[in-house]
Amino acid sequence: MAHLFTSLQIRDVSLRNRIMVSPMVQYSSVDGYANDWHLVHLGSRAVGGAGAVLTGATAIMPEGRISPDDLGIWSDGHLEMLARIFRFIEDQGAVVGVQLAHAGRKAGTSAPWKGGQPVDESDGGWRPIYAPSAIPFDQTYPVPATMTKEDIQRLIMAFADAARRVQEAGGRIVEIHAAHGYLIHQFLSPLSNHRDDEYGGTFINRTRFLCEVVESVRSKWPESYPVFVRISATDWIEGGWTLEDSVALAKQLIGLGVDVVDCSSGGLLPGAKIPIGAGYQVPFAERIRRETNILTAAVGLITAPEQADQIIRTGNADLVLLGREFLRDPYWPLHAAIRLGEENPVPKQYKRGF
């Protein structure tokens, strides 16, 4: 029976345990460049024993950033510092992953501690912002420009080019961000996609953009390395994307070479009534795993070692992703191993402290 500290082989990539650092945007870049903050933030979680470390949403194009301060991978110039960070993470025994993202109609906002609202062009923001349809996120956001088919093809190639850069920098996992109300999620949900062409309307049409992104990424990404897709398993809003849609999508993704579905939820519209509680999104990972046989990752208020271990032991998911808990404790896996009586992978430099 697998447990939290059982290794996991995905294609030719081996994770030392089932614990991953969830992508967490740091709002600490200038022009998309990584810096010493990212080295310490990501590197300390690798030192802390995580099986894999994912960067926060990393923009494939400058206009796809959530904020002007986001990490980017739209230029080969971004690779030098990323490669340094990735080498350090791998040296600590963790696997490096990059979450590839485009924010769509939610692009160009300020960091949370600056208010999290759309940034004016005079303050470093940009226009236009793009979406499948000209529907703003809410009344405080600008109306996005409807993407043309040429725009769609340009972005599909941008995802693939970004994946190629991840490999060149030394990353071994790419995660395509199709959740939280960002661009790909905007295509998936009928609440934000009102197109009447082959990218809108039916389920097959609304999932087409994501499927073509996956195919394009796979064309540039090594066959021996895994591809993850993060989804919002439900919009939590009547008439929106549902868990049943997510199951059907997962069945499509398997055939396209996706290895893991990372199961989050929400983010498409403000005001959704989400029943937040401990492990509240785990049932999404369990159902998708059970009905499709694809590997799944559970995320969302997973905090206690016993809770995380139980998720793996019961087969509810194959991986657990921790976010806020890793912000509170970069060494959570080391402490969890002690609590659970498992082998403790403490770095030799820290052994006298544990």
What pLDDT digit, counting tens, does each position of 320-344 carry? Answer: 999 999 999 999 999 999 999 997 7
Ranges in the chain, pLDDT < 50: none
pLDDT digits (tens, 9 = 90+) for 185-209: 999 999 999 999 999 999 999 999 9
* C-alpha 249, offset from chain centre: 17
Predicted local distance difference test score (pLDDT) of residue 111: 95
Q: Which of 182, 199, 225, 331 is catalytic?
A: 182
Helix-then-strand count for the chain, H and E: 10, 13
Contact 219, 160 (CB under 8 A): yes
From 61, 317, 69, 35, select the one nearest 213 (Cα to Cα). Answer: 61
As given in the structure block, the two tokens for residue 100 are 């590839």
pTM of the model: 0.97
Contact 45, 329 (CB under 8 A): no
CA pair distance 297, 283, nearest whole angstrom: 11
- 182 given a catalytic annotation: yes
Predicted local distance difference test score (pLDDT) of residue 348: 87
Predicted local distance difference test score (pLDDT) of residue 304: 97
CA pair distance 2, 76, nearest whole angstrom: 39
**350 phi, psi to nearest 5 deg:** -110, 0
Predicted local distance difference test score (pLDDT) of residue 20: 98
Residues contacting 120, CB < 8 A, separation 6+: none
From 52, 167, 37, 148, select the one nearest 100 (Cα to Cα). Answer: 167
What are the E-state strand segments in the chain? 8-10, 13-15, 19-21, 52-54, 58-59, 95-101, 130-131, 145-146, 173-178, 227-232, 260-264, 295-299, 319-322
CA distances (Å), 56 to each of 101, 108, 119, 292, 323, in order? 9, 16, 20, 27, 10
Predicted local distance difference test score (pLDDT) of residue 305: 97
CA pair distance 260, 249, nearest whole angstrom: 12
SS3 state at 61: coil
As given in the structure block, the two tokens for residue 129 are 């912002």
